């Protein structure tokens, strides 16, 4: 199925870039210090353990993605299985989570920018940086999906290359200091840090949304999910080994800056700061590339006004959805209004995953297959469901209150949109 006006400009590399930049944002510049402090020599080995746990969550999502080549991701999966209301709630919660992440990371980008260029710091610097950043990335996404993927590729190189060079240099210089892994840490300590480690891998779901602009989406997206997750796990593990070998002093506040300084002095610290800016820009750009397609998909399904579903004839992009998403994200970032939504983002993702898992038997039945999946997929889905429920159980009460309020607001918006759609033109 080809949505009219959209262009399939995202290939396997583009899908991998969206997945990678969704996962790797600001967290990688704080995570090595936290893991090193809590787990020491065993730290690097936690990444394949939690990468495997996240892979269990990814496989059922990939199974759902293999059934669709239209935009929307969870909106399409859940909406097809359980109807317009469920699909709208999935899209609504997902959109809130992505808006919150974009607004928060835009503020982190402004902080890193003023840290790298302290001479430019002033009362208007951060708002101006946020304005130019979001406006520029929004314009790049309006211009066309192929141009957006090229920009994402360039940013990814600037993000990854300095970190890889510094880590390899650190291992070459201090590799003989690497200690033995030691015993497995107490389960209580692992459990205390589990949410941080699990959330270091989320963001991969970005690639599910622009399926309507992905070549051979039913094959490309599942492969990108699995392969990129495995490569990102190896990337995280390598960085942690480098951090363990160097063991930089005074790394509590900015661990990777301290790491870069220990390896290559001021130049190393500057390289890490540039990589951090590129990492944040890539994460923001990937978010702006995928998330507006949620609005587009909900419009196509008749649960948002048709205005959001308009495609620019010249660029082949859902321009109104992109402008609306970018505009709201900019408003939240500049006013700080995203803070009260921040707690929704974590639990909303897990609830979305559970909704998708629950939709799989229904999707199979609708396509004329046996509702029960093959034994292997059924086992993985059961394990993934248990992991999501366990992670949700760790969530604080305020997150549940915010989620309930968001669902209520979504219900009211859905009712209003349906009422308007029934009114004569």
The per-residue pLDDT for range 139-188, each reduced to its tens digit, is: 999 999 999 999 999 999 999 999 999 999 999 999 998 988 878 888 77
> What is the rounded distance in angstroms from the CA atom of residue 380 to the CA atom of residue 269?
42
Which token pair is 173?
């210089």
pLDDT of 395 over the 80 cut = no
User: Residue 342 — very low, low, confident or very high, per pLDDT cuts 50/70/90?
Assistant: low
Segment 297-314 mean pLDDT: 88
Instruction: Please report the pLDDT score of residue 423 as a whole number.
Output: 61
Residue pair 102/288 in contact (Cβ under 8 Å)? The answer is: yes
Query: Between 375-393 and 342-366, two packed helices, what is the crossing angle to 10 degrees?
Result: 160
Pick among 1.10.132.10, 2.40.160.40, 1.20.1740.10, 3.90.230.10: CATH of 12-419: 1.20.1740.10
Which token pair is 53?
């746990």
Express as a percent the part of the chain with pLDDT over 90: 61
Query: What's the Cα-to-Cα distance from 245 to each of 166, 183, 190, 249, 346, rounded to whole Å?
Result: 12, 18, 22, 12, 32
Positive or negative, the Cα torsion across 371, 374, 375, 381?
negative
b/e 230-254 (16+ beta carbons within 10 angstroms → b): eebbebbbbbbbbbbbbbbeebeeb
pLDDT of 343 over the 80 cut = no
Q: What is the mean pLDDT of the chain?
A: 89
pLDDT in tens, 224-247: 999 999 999 999 999 999 999 999
Phi, then psi, of 239 in degrees rounded to 5: -60, -40
pLDDT in tens, 367-376: 888 877 788 8
pLDDT of 275 over the 90 cut = yes
The burial of 193, by beta-carbon neighbours within 10 Å (0-12 exposed, 13-18 middle, 19 or more buried), is given as middle
pLDDT, greater one: 371 or 286: 286
Cα Rg of the chain, angstroms: 21
pLDDT of 113 over the 70 cut = yes
Instruction: Please report the pLDDT score of residue 1 as a whole number.
Output: 42
pLDDT in tens, 40-88: 999 999 999 999 999 999 999 999 999 999 999 999 999 999 999 999 9
> What is the rounded distance in angstroms from the CA atom of residue 223 to the CA atom of residue 217?
10
Q: Where are the domains of the chain?
A: 12-419
pLDDT of 382 over the 90 cut = yes
* SS3 category, 214: strand
Instruction: Please report the pLDDT score of residue 421 as a whole number.
Output: 61
pLDDT of 251 over the 80 cut = no
Position of tokens 């700080």? 336
Instruction: Please report the pLDDT score of residue 2 as a whole number.
Output: 44
Segment 272-282 mean pLDDT: 94
pLDDT of 424 over the 80 cut = no
Q: Which of 345, 390, 399 is nearest to 25 (CA)?
A: 345
């Amino acid at each position: 199925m080809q949505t009219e006006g959209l262009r399939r400009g995202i290939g396997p590399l583009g899908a991998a870039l969206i997945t990678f930049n969704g996962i790797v944002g600001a967290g990688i510049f704080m995570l090595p210090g936290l893991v090193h402090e809590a787990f020491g020599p065993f730290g690097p080995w936690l990444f394949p353990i939690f990468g495997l746990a996240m892979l269990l969550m990814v496989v059922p999502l990939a199974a759902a993605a293999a059934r669709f080549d239209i935009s929307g991701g969870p909106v399409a999966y859940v909406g097809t299985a359980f109807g317009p209301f469920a699909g709208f709630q999935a899209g609504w919660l997902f959109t809130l989570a992505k808006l919150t992440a974009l607004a928060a990371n835009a503020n982190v980008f402004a902080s890193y920018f003023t840290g790298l260029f302290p001479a430019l710091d002033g009362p208007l610097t951060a708002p101006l940086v946020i304005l130019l950043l979001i406006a520029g990335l929004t314009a790049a996404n309006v211009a066309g999906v192929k141009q957006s993927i090229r920009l994402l590729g360039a940013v990814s190189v600037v993000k990854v290359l300095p970190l890889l060079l510094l880590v390899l240099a650190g291992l070459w210089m201090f590799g003989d200091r690497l200690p033995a892994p030691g015993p497995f840490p107490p389960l209580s300590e692992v459990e205390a840090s589990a949410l941080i480690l699990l959330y270091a891998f989320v963001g991969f779901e970005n690639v599910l949304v622009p399926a309507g602009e992905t070549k051979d989406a039913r094959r490309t997206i599942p492969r990108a999910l699995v392969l990129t997750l495995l490569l990102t796990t190896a990337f995280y593990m390598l960085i942690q080994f480098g951090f363990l070998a160097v063991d930089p002093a005074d790394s509590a506040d900015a661990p990777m800056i301290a790491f870069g300084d220990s390896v290559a002095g001021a130049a190393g610290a500057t390289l890490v700061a540039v990589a951090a800016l590129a990492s944040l820009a890539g994460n923001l750009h990937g978010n702006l590339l995928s998330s507006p397609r949620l609005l587009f998909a909900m419009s196509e399904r008749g649960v948002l006004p048709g205005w959001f579903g308009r495609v620019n004839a010249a660029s082949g992009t859902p321009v109104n959805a992109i402008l609306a998403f970018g505009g709201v994200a900019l408003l939240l970032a500049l006013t700080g209004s995203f803070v009260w939504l921040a707690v929704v983002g974590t639990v909303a993702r897990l609830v979305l995953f559970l909704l998708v898992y629950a939709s799989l038997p229904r999707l199979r039945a609708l396509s004329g297959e046996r509702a029960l999946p093959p034994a292997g997929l059924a086992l993985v889905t059961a394990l993934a469901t248990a992991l999501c429920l366990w992670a949700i159980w760790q969530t604080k009460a305020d997150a549940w209150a915010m989620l309930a309020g968001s669902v209520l607001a979504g219900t009211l918006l859905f009712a209003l949109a349906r009422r308007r759609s029934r009114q004569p033109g």
